[in-house]
Structures are given as C-alpha cells and as structure tokens.
Structure 1
Amino acid sequence: MPLINDYGAFLLSGLAVTLALAAVSGVLAFCLGLGLVLLRMTRIRILQGLVAAFVEFQRNVPPLVHIFLWYFGVSSALPQALQDLANANHGEFWFACLAIGLYYAAYVAEHIRSGMRSISGGQMEAARALGLSHAGAMRRVMLPQALRASIPPLTSEAVMLVKTTGLAMVLGVMELTYAVKDVASKSFRTFESYGIGTALYVAVALVLLYTGSRLGRRLRIKGR
C-alpha cells in the first residue's frame, strides 16, 4: 500500500506518542483515583467534601476544556523560569497528560469506590475483630477485592482514555490523530489516511479489552 510505504513510519511515531500519552495519563489517573478513594473512605468530613467537589468538577467539565485550562491557564500563572523549562521540554505533552490524568482520576475513583461498596460490610467487621486496624483492613481485605471488582469498568475507562488523547492534537502534540490529519493533508488520500488511523485505534482498544478480560477472569473473586 503506497500510503503506508510513504508515511508508515510517521504514523507509527504518532501511535507511539499516543501510547505514551495514555500510559502517563493512565498511571496518574489510577494513582490519584486510588488516593481519592482512600481519602473519601475516611471519616473526616472536610476531606470527603473536597474529594467529592474535585470529582464533580472533573466529571462535569469537558476534557478539552481541562486541557486548555492547564496549557493556557495554569501554565501562564507559573514563574517564567518554569514556563521556559516547560517550553524547552515538550510542555504541551506533559500538560496534556496532566489534564487527561486528572480528568480520568475522577472516574477511576468512582469505579473503585463502587467496587468497595459492593463488598459486604461484614468483612470489615471480621477483619477488625481479628485485630487489624482500619487502615490494615482496608489494605489487606477491602481494597484488593474492590480493585478486582473494578477491573471491567476500569478497562472501559482505559479505552476511553486512549481515545481522549486525540484531543492533545489541539496543543500541537504529534500523536496519532495529529499524524493522520497531517498525512491526509499531504497525500490527499483522506479516506485511506483516516481509515488507517481508525484501524490503529481499534487495534489498541481491542488489545486493552482483551487484556482486561483476561485479567478479570484470572483475578475474579470466586462466588461472583
């Protein structure tokens, strides 16, 4: 296929940037989402309120607005030295990762929290009766089960996160969508260009869904 011969390497480099965006954003989303769940499970009302406010803010503002907020808003409020550092080190990539990661952290938190609520409260009581502290019971008993129960929705969010990385093109990040658009404009083969881009996104999504399905079956809690 002539288009692949001429622009295959460029499209693959765009795919690599997309996967890097997804990996960094996904790790941030999972770690922060897990932290939000643990804060929300405390009995400190102020922390619970702050976490709830953060989750609602992230979930009710479009991800593109979050990207603009961080890249054009927050970055301009930084000291000039930090702005220069960001500009010299692909700041558009890192601000996009931060915005997407924070956005999906809210969804990760809610999925893990739902998994936590699906576990019988009697297990916490039994763990405390065996001498575990509240934190110990959460870490050893409740949280592992909640994470296992959350694998299916977290897999779906991972697919959504990969698709959302396409928004980073508005900042000039040369990810897959940017590469496809550039190839289409240079080669004038619009259908083939976007067809290849679509196939690559579908391939990534299928790999994630397959991996999540295998992981879910392997770690499935017996009796569920």
Structure 2
Amino acid sequence: MTTFDVQMLLTGQYHEMLVAGLKMSLQYLLYAFVIALPLSLVIALCRLSPFKALNWVGATYVEVVRSIPLLAHMLFWYFGVPELLPESLKEALYNGPVESICAVLALAFYTAAYMAEDIRSGIRAVPTVQTEAARALGLSYGSTMRLVILPQALRLTVPPLISQTLNMWKGTSVATVIGASEMMYQAGQIESQTFRSFEAFAFVSVAYLAVSLLITLAASWFQHRYPVRTM
C-alpha cells in the first residue's frame, strides 16, 4: 500500500467509516441498555413474586435466554422473528434499518436475563427488617419496594450491572454477522478493500478498550459519589 493509501486509512474515507462504525456501536449500546434495564427489573420482580405464575415466567425467561449464546439470539431476531410478523409489519421492518433494530433487540433481551439475576440478588441483599418496618408504617408492598427496597438494591447492583454493560458493549461486535454497520463490520470492510488488517483492527481494539475504561470509571465515580448505606 502506498503512503497516500495509509494516510487515507487514518484521515480520509476509511477513517470516516471507522468513526461511523464506532458511533453506530455506541448507539446500539445506548438503545439496548435503555431497553434492558427496565426489562430486567420487571423480570427480577417476577422472580421474587409470591405468585407462582409470575415466578415461573421470570425463571423460564432467565434460564432459556442464558442457555442460548448471543450469536444464536442475533441470528434468531434477524432471520426468525420477522417471519412471525404480519406481512405489513414485516414489509415495514425490511424497509427500515432492520439490521440495527434486530441487533439492539437481541442485545437488550439477552442482557436483560443476566441483569435480572443481578437485580434479584441486590433486592435479596437488602435486610428484611427494612421491609418489615416499611409495612409496619402502613406502606403497601408496591410502595415498600419502590421507595425503600429498590433504591438500595439498585445501588448494591451497580458493580454487576456495570459488568453486564461492559459485556453488552463488547457484544455489539456480534452484530456484524447480520450485516449491521457497527464498528467491527466497518473494520472488516476496510480490511477486505485495503488489506490493512493491523490498522483497521487496532483502531477497533483501542475503541473497545477506551469505551470500556470510560464505563468503568463512571461506575467508580458513582459508587464513590453515592455510597451504599443500609441499616
């Protein structure tokens, strides 16, 4: 490759492709997290529900999803789920960014199963005396959970939730198998066009490392700023 081509890889067309892929990967992470966190909370509450039906639904979801690798989830959402939709919805989906939609949903539903177990453990770690005290003050079960238990449980689960967020960030690379134009896909395209494997995948590796470190630093700041205090 000529010097001009190397410069183009670093600052021109190929650089723009890598930056666009990085932005797309970050969007996948953000959208998947926004879906996964509330979904995991619902699943965790189902797992702790005194109603057997809800408990069974939550447990089944967790066990089924965690027993299947992310790659299989990604392929299922891309190739399988659209076939179950009505023809009008299927056509609308394929007229839009179907790869991105399926990648986000696969990441979100997969990660939610792991986050749910972390949240469930956090809820169970809160001393039961706090629940008893809240109920003695006249709070309902829902109010007790919302005002007393969950705020403490979510703080307790920050470290494992951050770990799952890091896994989700790295999992965005799996979206390349369905043609989603995230960072790994763009690096593969550049490698096939320029044969500059080292430069392309070095950029990707540094980007994954940098974002992972930023997430870890944000978690450390949160734990220092909002320390857990239980009674």
Answer whether TM exceeds 0.5 for this pair.
Answer: yes
Q: CA deviation at 1:150?
A: 0.4
Checking the alignment, whether the CA contact within 8 Å between 1:40 and 1:47 is kept in structure 2 is yes
Instruction: Choose which of 188, 194, 212 in structure 1 pairs with 2:219.
Output: 212
Query: 1:73 and 2:58 equivalent?
Result: no
- Deviation per residue, 1:152-182 (Å, 9 max, x gap): 1111111110110111111111000001111
Consecutive unaligned residues in structure 2, runs of 5 or more: 1-5
Report if aligned partners of 2:152, 2:230 keep a CA contact under 8 Å in 1. no
- 2: CA distance between counterparts of 1:59 and 1:172? 24
Per-residue CA deviation, residues 77-135 of structure 1 (Å, 9 max, x unaligned), is: 21221111011111111111111100000111111111111111111001111111111
Deviations 1:41-95 (A, max 9, x none): 2210011011100000111100111111111111112122111101111111111
Percent same amino acid among aligned pairs?
A: 38
Q: Greater CA deviation, 181-190 or 1-10? A: 1-10
Helix, strand or coil: the match of 2:26? helix
Q: TM-score, normalised by structure 2?
A: 0.94
Change (3 A) 1:119 1:223: closer
Superposed counterparts of 1:67-216, under 5 Å: 67-216=74-223
CA distance in 2, matches of 1:115, 1:43: 18
Q: TM-score, normalised by structure 1?
A: 0.96
CA RMSD of aligned residues (A): 1.3
Whether the 8 Å contact between 2:46 and 2:57 is mirrored in structure 1 is: no
- Which residue pairs with 2:229 in the alignment? 222
Q: Which amino acid aligns with 2:152?
A: Q
Please say if residues 40 and 51 of structure 1, whose CA atoms lie closer than 8 Å, have aligned partners that are also in contact: yes
Report how many residues are paired: 224
One of 21, 41, 57 as aligned partner of 1:34: 41
Find the counterpart in structure 2 of residue 4 from structure 1: 10
Contact kept? 2:61, 2:113, Cα under 8 Å: yes
Q: Distance in 1 between matches of 2:229 and 2:103?
A: 39
User: C-alpha separation between the residues in 1 aligned to 2:90 and 2:81?
Assistant: 10
- Structure 2 CA distance, aligned partners of 1:218 and 1:40? 30
Tell me by how many angstroms 1:223 deviates. Answer: 6.6
Q: Secondary structure at the match of 1:173?
A: coil
For 1:185 and 1:70, the matched residues in 2 are separated by 27
Tell me, yes or no, if the aligned pair for 1:149 and 1:220 is still in contact at 8 Å: no
Letter in 1 for 2:229: K
Q: Is the 8 A contact 2:162 2:216 kept in 1?
A: yes
Task: Give the deviation of 1:222 after TM superposition.
Answer: 3.2
